[in-house]
Amino acid sequence: MPNAFNFSISPFDCLTADERRLVRDSIDIAYFREGEAILEPGAEPTHLFVIIKGFVNETDGEELVATYGADDCFDGRGLIAGKAGSRFVAAEEVLAYQLARAAVTELIASNATFGALLFADLSKKLSALTERHSQHEMQSLTTARVSELRLRPARFIDAGADIVSVVRFFDQHRTANVLVRDESTNPHRIGIFTNTGLQRAILDGRPLDQLPVRDLANFKLVTARPADYLFDVLATMIRHRVRRVVVKDGDEITGILEQLDLMSYLSNHSTLITRQINEAPDLAALKAPAEQITRLIALLFRVGTKVSLIAKLVQELNAKLFERAWTLIAPADLVENACLFVMGSEGRGEQLLKTDQDNGLILRDGYDCPHDLPALCQQLSDALKDFGYPECPGRIMVNNPEWRMPAAEFGQTVRRWLLMPTAETLMALAIFLDAHPVCGDAELLEQVRGEVFKLVNDNDALLARFAAAINAFADSSGWWNRLFSLDSAADQMDIKKAGTFPLVHGIRALALDARLEVTGTVDRIEALVAAGKLAEDMGTDLIDSLHFFMGLKLKLGLAALDRGRAKAGGVEIDKLSNLDRDLLKDALGVVKRFRGMLSHRFRLDAL
């Protein structure tokens, strides 16, 4: 069988090495023409199919039950029951792996999670998904390679350099090791000298400014290759009792892999990114950790980390990135007398992949900025764009004077949004309510946001107009009726319009009504439930739905990036897996009920 079988897809991602070997030994490739029936009702399946290319429609009579695409498998239920309950037809040319029934039966007997994910009902599938998170993590760690890490640069010094010069080199380059090039030998030797060798240098007895580093360097390098597994490299370090290895791609030395970096990668990749951000000497040095944030998101998602935890981590990393960028750009007095803040999903702590910039700057009243503030703010916007955060089409950025004002003026603007509401000002208010400080004096932000709660008391008409935005994309509810009646046109749904926005904004409206100062949607839901403003079961359903929308959008976005395309803007419903489509239907149902509740609460039908 081809080695290309994708063991990262469900339910094969929970298999052991021996079970994977069984799959490889028991699988073949099948081809089906467009319109060809693969399984008929009542037929006895002999294989489990995993689609490589194309789509397969499952029908029950005249009703379309599901559509399967690349990496989806079918018909596990029929295989276990001994007969197919539905008709499976190739919607277009299909190429698929077929795994023999005997092998499937053996896998189910040896791996309960595999069996649950293959043919159990939805609730059991979700339970199995939760239980396998730790298995995912271990599999990821055992398959990660050296090429996935950012190596420390390989720096060289001549073997004739004295120890004092080496110490100066360490200090200048902020490193604890250097490669030693000895050109006095034939062939030339490459060794390594680390700060642990300084003790031996002192004990040597010779003056340090006369002691050549070649006398103490280790010329028996311990090396690794980019394709080596990290666990193998870790074992090599332990075996040779070294804390670093030299990475070579062929004869070329590409960098140094430190044991600390390796362990940080295996345990918490964010540690490395944070260090690189904090140590960045200029804006150019921040671009690499900005890119690594996306890779970290992909890794964490791959190992089954909850999207809520990923989002919180991303919020912290982005905040550190923005803070470091601003402190590199802005003079210290400006940083101290202003508050840089972010809004939107970034402010709520719900951003995953990079989205448009939404940020602003509040200046302390009485602070007369002696610097070219517009130029500094433009420099920040340009830097963030270079890091992969696109400019906001609505110009909700610090380079726009309307989002860069002293506190008193900003407060007047917020009051104007409230007292003279329009669709545009109410949306600006909604965006501002999600603001989260990232650098400077956070009290300035709280001072301005406090103006909102001073004026919103018992203003039911304002709250109703504010909440009415949940119906801005009301026609998106049509997706509810079309989820299981797809045609070949590959309909697309905007997750934000159909699900995320009405959920997030509806909770934002309830939080404003309740004068809640928390900004995250989940925090707002929990506070509303605790205050008796929202039923507990509705709160739980809304949190689950939000996290599903976030996870689905992330999965599709990562898949688009893997294909070298821009992040997916819409969801092609007919290409979702059966499980994702079931969950999407449930989540949209929750949003539909929630909108009904909000319509009653704020009397939106009367507007």
Which CATH number characterizes residue 180's domain? 3.10.580.10
Q: Which residues of 322-358 are buried (b: 16+ CB within 10 A; e: fewer)?
A: bbbbbebbbeeebbebbbbbbbbbbbbbbbbbbeebb
180, part of any domain? yes
Q: Are residues 167 and 241 in the same domain?
A: yes
The DSSP symbol for 533 reads: S
Q: Are residues 300 and 261 in the same domain?
A: no
* Res 418: pLDDT: 84
64 SS3 class = strand
Q: Which amino acid is at 242?
A: V
Q: Are residues 439 and 343 in the same domain?
A: yes
* Res 116: pLDDT: 65
Domain end: 267, 298, 316, which one? 267
* Res 491: pLDDT: 61
**Tokens encoding 125:** 């599938």
* Res 186: pLDDT: 75
6, part of any domain? no
How far separated are the first and last CA of the chain, in Å rounded? 64
Tell me how far apart the alpha carbons of residues 67 and 573 are, in angstroms, rounded to a whole number: 9
With helix as H, strand as E and coil as C, how does 93-129 read? CEEEEEEEHHHHHHHHHHCHHHHHHHHCCHHHHHHHH
- 21: exposed, middle or buried (Cβ count in 10 Å: 0-12, 13-18, 19+): exposed
Q: What does each C-alpha distance from 534 to 231, 311, 337, 428, 523 come to in angstroms?
A: 48, 24, 39, 25, 13
144 contact partners, CB below 8 Å, separation of at least 6: 229, 230, 265, 266
Q: Which amino acid is at 83?
A: K
Task: For Cα atoms 44, 47, 52, give the angle at the middle one, nearest 5 degrees.
Answer: 135
CATH number assigned to the domain comprising residue 56: 2.60.120.10
- 158: exposed, middle or buried (Cβ count in 10 Å: 0-12, 13-18, 19+): middle
Q: Are residues 504 and 563 in the same domain?
A: yes
214 contact partners, CB below 8 Å, separation of at least 6: 159, 160, 180, 182, 184, 191
141, part of any domain? no
Tell me how far apart the alpha carbons of residues 603 and 9 are, in angstroms, rounded to a whole number: 46
**Phi and psi dihedrals of 567, rounded to 5?**
-55, 140
Q: Are residues 194 and 330 in the same domain?
A: no
Question: How confident is the chain (607 residues) per 10-residue block, as mean pLDDT?
Answer: 72 86 92 93 91 88 75 81 87 93 88 70 45 47 72 92 92 89 85 89 89 92 89 77 90 89 65 80 91 83 77 87 95 96 92 89 94 96 93 92 95 89 87 94 93 77 86 58 44 83 94 90 95 92 90 87 68 72 81 91 79
* Res 265: pLDDT: 67
Q: Are residues 515 and 593 in the same domain?
A: yes
Domain with 87, as residue range(s), is 12-118
* Res 236: pLDDT: 82
**Tokens encoding 273:** 């990114």
Q: Are residues 254 and 294 in the same domain?
A: no
* Res 138: pLDDT: 45
Domain end: 438, 455, 472, which one? 455
Tell me how far apart the alpha carbons of residues 293 and 540 are, in angstroms, rounded to a whole number: 29
Domain end: 455, 471, 490, which one? 455
- Please check whether residue 357 is in contact with residue 385, taking contact to mean a CB–CB distance below 8 angstroms: yes
Tell me how far apart the alpha carbons of residues 63 and 197 are, in angstroms, rounded to a whole number: 75
Q: What residues pair up with 256 in beta bridges, in sequence order?
A: 152, 246
Q: Are residues 93 and 69 in the same domain?
A: yes
Q: Are residues 395 and 484 in the same domain?
A: no
55, part of any domain? yes
Total tally of structural domains belonging to the chain: 4
Residues in the chain: 607
531, part of any domain? yes
252 contact partners, CB below 8 Å, separation of at least 6: none
Q: Are residues 370 and 466 in the same domain?
A: no
Closest by CA position to 237, among listed 218, 258, 220, 255: 258
**Tokens encoding 52:** 């490589």
Tell me how far apart the alpha carbons of residues 288 and 299 are, in angstroms, rounded to a whole number: 16
CATH number assigned to the domain comprising residue 521: 1.20.120
Residue whose pair of structure tokens reads 């006369």 in the numeric block: 210
123, part of any domain? no
Pairing of strands 37-39, 87-90: antiparallel
3-state helix, strand, coil in the chain (%, to 5): 55, 15, 30
Residue whose pair of structure tokens reads 């070949």 in the numeric block: 488
CATH number assigned to the domain comprising residue 323: 3.30.460.10
124, part of any domain? no
**Tokens encoding 463:** 């709250």
Q: Are residues 504 and 391 in the same domain?
A: no
* Res 558: pLDDT: 87
Q: Are residues 101 and 180 in the same domain?
A: no
Tell me how far apart the alpha carbons of residues 46 and 102 are, in angstroms, rounded to a whole number: 9
Angle between helices 578-602 and 122-131 (to 10 degrees): 100
Q: Which residues of 260-289 are buried (b: 16+ CB within 10 A; e: fewer)?
A: ebbebbbeebbebbbebbeebeebeebeeb
140, part of any domain? no
